[in-house]
């Protein structure tokens, strides 16, 4: 099966930029940035974060925030794809990336265990029910593969790549794929300890960038074989055309300075899509606003696409949502292709002389038929997705 037959039949997203796609596009239009202090838990850390406000109660099962975020996005994507609540009659897989939901890092549980040698099993039960893919699979009674990808910050991108593989190998006809992650005290402390969190709203690719801000959210695509969509009477011009992934084999937390792994992942994604670099209309970059990430990514993108390629980072309006980032940014990339414009790269003001590329400073019309979204992760993993728009099939 050709990648050209992998349609995007639904989009769903929730982040600090909006509780659905239309709110998000509104935020993009106005340049609104909803960064603020942490309200979800007590912390002494002074970092601004991008929290999701007013998470709908109906999507908040058993205090599992990551699952709630995922359900919001999945629900919107399924509605967009005109799929109902009960999908048991179809062959639907689910592949979701996350970082927080895969760990039993409940501080209250652990403190109790440390102090008394005993603790309530409530947090354990929530954790065991909270494997994101399995949770969604059970909730919607899905009849296809279910897998949670825990590949750090490229998890969402990799989950979409895996879903493509499932569709191509015939394991399912439809796949719900993306990522979800909640804001959590443990990674906030961890990223803080690495010295890569900014005390100001983040400024991806900017000369004066001081690091990332953490965020939370979920982004989900409904991917579907063209023949399945045709059977359901669905048409879509949006496609995932290619996926590539490669490792730096270099360092546990730092990207390889020459960006070789990122370059290879992009080459593989373009090759998988069967398109040349000059067909890429814009790049939705990983752009975390850390010194190292943006320097490496900027160099590689300029080398591969030329210094005039239109790029942006949407982390200026969502924060870094970790395992959700690839899913959220995939939704943004597909939506931008569909809408025909990309927003200003929030937070960017001054060019860094060491980065031979300048993100877009204002809402920008896009002409190309394809877009690239990149993800770089702890552990040296690099992943890329190519999206396309064309005639509806």
Partner 1 sequence: MNIISAGMVFTRGSGIGSFENALHEGWRIPGEVEYSKSNKSFAYQFDQTTIRDKAVLKKMRRADKLSKMAVAAASEALGNSGIDDIRGKNIGIITATALGAQVTTFSFLDDIIEYGESSVSPTTFSNSVHNAAASYISMVLGIRGPVMTVTRFFFSFQSALQLAQSWLNESRCEFILVGAVEQYGDVLAYIQDTKLNASPDGRILPFNLNPAYQVPGEGSVFFLVSNKDTDTALCNIEDVYLDTYEKESEKPDVNIIDTDGLLKDESVYAESLSPDIPTAAYSPVFGSMMSGSAFNCLAGALMLRNRMLYASPVQDNPHGLNIVDRTVSRDIELIRCIRYNCYENKAVICLRKKQ
Q: Pick out residues in 195-254 that bind partner 1 (CB under 8 A).
A: 195, 245-253
Contacts to partner 1 from residues 31-70, by CB under 8 A: 43-45
- Residue 287 sits in the site that holds partner 1 (CB under 8 A): no
Residue from 22, 31, 128, 227 binding partner 1 (CB under 8 A): 128
> What is the separation, in whole angstroms, between the first and last Cα of the chain?
15
Answer whether 94's CB lies under 8 Å from 159's CB.
no
Residue from 4, 79, 134, 351 binding partner 1 (CB under 8 A): 134
Residue from 53, 114, 367, 391 binding partner 1 (CB under 8 A): 114
- Backbone φ and ψ of 240, nearest 5°: -100, 115
**Annotation says 286 is catalytic:** yes
Query: Which CB atom, from 214 or from 312, has the smaller least distance to partner 1?
Result: 214
Contacts to partner 1 from residues 340-379, by CB under 8 A: 377-379
3-state helix, strand, coil in the chain (%, to 5): 40, 20, 40
Instruction: Report the C-alpha gap between 156 and 17 in whole angstroms.
Output: 18
Instruction: Report the C-alpha gap between 248 and 245 in whole angstroms.
Output: 10
**Annotation says 251 is catalytic:** no
Query: Which CB atom, from 69 or from 146, has the smaller least distance to partner 1?
Result: 146
Strands 238-247 and 311-312: unpaired
Residue from 12, 18, 145, 343 binding partner 1 (CB under 8 A): 145
Q: How many CB atoms lie within 10 A of CB 85?
A: 10
H helix runs in the chain, sequence order: 21-30, 65-80, 107-116, 122-129, 132-139, 155-169, 185-193, 226-232, 260-273, 291-305, 315-318, 325-339
Instruction: Report the C-alpha gap between 77 and 56 in whole angstroms.
Output: 16
Contacts to partner 1 from residues 151-180, by CB under 8 A: 151-152, 158, 162, 165-166, 168-169, 171
Q: How many residues bind partner 1 (CB under 8 A)?
A: 71
Q: What residue has token string 């890092």?
A: 105
Residues present in the chain in total: 393
- Residue 122 sits in the site that holds partner 1 (CB under 8 A): no
Contacts to partner 1 from residues 74-93, by CB under 8 A: 93
Which of the stretches 15-23, 74-82, 146-154, 286-294 binds partner 1 when contact is defined by CB under 8 A? 146-154
Least distance CB 211 / partner 1 (angstroms): 14
With H, G, I as helix, E, B as strand and everything else as coil, classify residue 388: strand
Which of the stretches 95-103, 207-215, 216-224, 294-302 binds partner 1 when contact is defined by CB under 8 A? 95-103
Contacts to partner 1 from residues 177-196, by CB under 8 A: 185-186, 188-195
- Residue 380 sits in the site that holds partner 1 (CB under 8 A): yes
**Annotation says 153 is catalytic:** yes
Choose the catalytic residue: 72, 102, 153, 172. Answer: 153
Residues marked active site are found at 153, 286, 320
């Amino acid at each position: 099966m050709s990648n050209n037959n992998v349609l995007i039949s639904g989009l769903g997203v929730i982040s600090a930029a909006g509780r659905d796609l239309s709110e998000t596009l509104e935020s993009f239009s106005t340049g609104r940035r909803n960064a603020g202090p942490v309200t979800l838990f007590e912390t002494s850390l002074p970092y601004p974060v991008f929290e999701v406000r007013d998470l709908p109660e109906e999507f908040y099962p058993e205090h599992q925030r990551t699952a709630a975020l995922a359900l919001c996005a999945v629900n919107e994507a399924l509605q967009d794809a005109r799929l109902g609540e009960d999908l048991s009659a179809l062959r639907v897989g689910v592949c979701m990336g996350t970082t927080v939901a895969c760990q039993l890092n409940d501080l209250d549980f652990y403190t109790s265990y440390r102090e008394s040698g005993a603790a309530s099993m409530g947090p354990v039960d929530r954790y065991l029910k909270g494997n994101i893919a399995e949770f969604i699979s059970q909730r919607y009674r899905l009849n296809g593969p279910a897998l949670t990808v825990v590949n750090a910050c490229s998890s969402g991108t990799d989950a979409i790549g895996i879903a493509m593989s499932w569709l191509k190998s015939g394991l399912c006809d439809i796949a719900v794929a993306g990522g979800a992650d909640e804001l959590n005290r443990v990674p906030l402390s961890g990223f803080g300890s690495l010295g890569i969190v900014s005390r100001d709203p983040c400024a991806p690719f900017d000369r004066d960038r001081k690091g990332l801000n953490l965020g939370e959210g979920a982004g989900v695509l409904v991917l579907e074989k063209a023949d399945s969509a045709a059977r359901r009477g669905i048409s879509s011009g949006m496609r995932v055309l290619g996926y590539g992934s490669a490792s730096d084999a270099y360092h546990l937390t730092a990207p390889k300075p020459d960006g070789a792994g990122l370059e290879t992942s992009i080459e593989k994604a373009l090759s998988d899509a069967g398109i040349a670099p000059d067909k890429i209309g814009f790049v939705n970059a990983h752009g975390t606003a850390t010194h190292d990430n943006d320097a490496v990514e900027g160099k590689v993108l300029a080398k591969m696409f030329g210094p005039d390629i239109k790029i942006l980072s949407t982390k200026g309006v969502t924060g870094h949502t970790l395992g959700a980032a690839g899913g959220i940014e995939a939704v943004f990339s597909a939506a931008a292709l569909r809408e025909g414009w990309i927003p200003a790269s929030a937070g960017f003001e001054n060019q860094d002389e060491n980065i031979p590329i300048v993100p877009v400073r204002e809402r920008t019309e896009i002409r190309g038929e394809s877009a690239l979204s990149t993800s770089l992760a702890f552990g040296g993993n690099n992943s890329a997705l190519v999206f396309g728009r064309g005639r509806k099939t």
